[in-house]
């Protein structure tokens, strides 16, 4: 790997950390939290996506608009990308990723899709409701009432499913 690539990657990490710190500050003021920050470079400009979240409710369009209005002047003042950039503020979405035990507790009773590291029975994935959170396991129940105890460490990734 050429040293210039490493330097560029390190520079982007530093910029991302700086954005995260400021975004987190603004988010706290607005009773929000930062779910993720993504930076993508195109030939013409950088694209920054800040994904915001709320603990007690879902994020709405108005939350995204207010956050964008609040943070955009800081981006302009800091000029992190030496010129133009696109700023996108969004929510994790209705099919949001679940990132560990706190999310499992928060979305107890909700339908989710789970992908496993090692097969559970003959399954590599499962769509089920989060029934309960035990010490190191989730109790899941499918729509046809079949129950599964799944070790949390066997979950590769998971996300909410839209339940119609």
Can you tell me the distance from the alpha carbon of 128 to that of 111, in angstroms, rounded to the nearest whole number? Answer: 5
Q: What is the DSSP string of 26-39?
A: HHHHTT-EEEEEEE
Range of the domain at 145: 97-160
Q: What is the mean pLDDT of each run of 10 residues along the chain (164 residues)?
A: 48 86 97 95 88 91 98 92 90 94 94 97 96 95 96 97 86
Domain edge (last residue) among 90, 123, 150: 90
With vertex at residue 50, the alpha carbon angle to CA 49 and CA 52, rounded to the nearest 5 degrees, is 145
Q: Give the pLDDT score at 9.
A: 66
Both 80 and 16 in one domain: the answer is yes
Number of domains the chain contains: 2
What per-residue confidence (pLDDT) applies to 1?
40
State whether 38 and 73 are in the same domain: yes
- Residue 146 corresponds to which tokens in the numbers above? 């079949």
CATH number of 136's domain: 2.30.30.100
């Amino acid at each position: 790997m050429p040293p210039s690539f490493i330097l560029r990657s390190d520079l982007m990490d530093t910029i991302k950390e700086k954005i995260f710190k400021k975004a987190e500050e603004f988010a706290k003021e607005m009773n929000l939290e930062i779910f993720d920050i993504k930076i993508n470079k195109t030939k013409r400009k950088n694209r920054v996506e800040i994904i915001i979240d709320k603990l007690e409710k879902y994020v709405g369009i108005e939350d995204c608009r207010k956050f964008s209005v609040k943070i955009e002047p800081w981006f302009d003042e800091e000029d992190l990308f030496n010129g133009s950039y696109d700023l996108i503020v969004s929510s994790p979405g209705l099919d949001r990723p679940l990132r560990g035990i706190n999310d499992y507790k928060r979305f107890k009773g909700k339908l989710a899709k789970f992908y496993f590291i090692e097969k559970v029975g003959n399954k590599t994935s499962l769509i089920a409701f989060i029934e309960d959170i035990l010490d190191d396991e989730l109790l899941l129940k499918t729509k046809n009432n079949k129950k599964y105890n799944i070790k949390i460490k066997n979950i590769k990734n998971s996300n909410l499913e839209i339940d119609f």
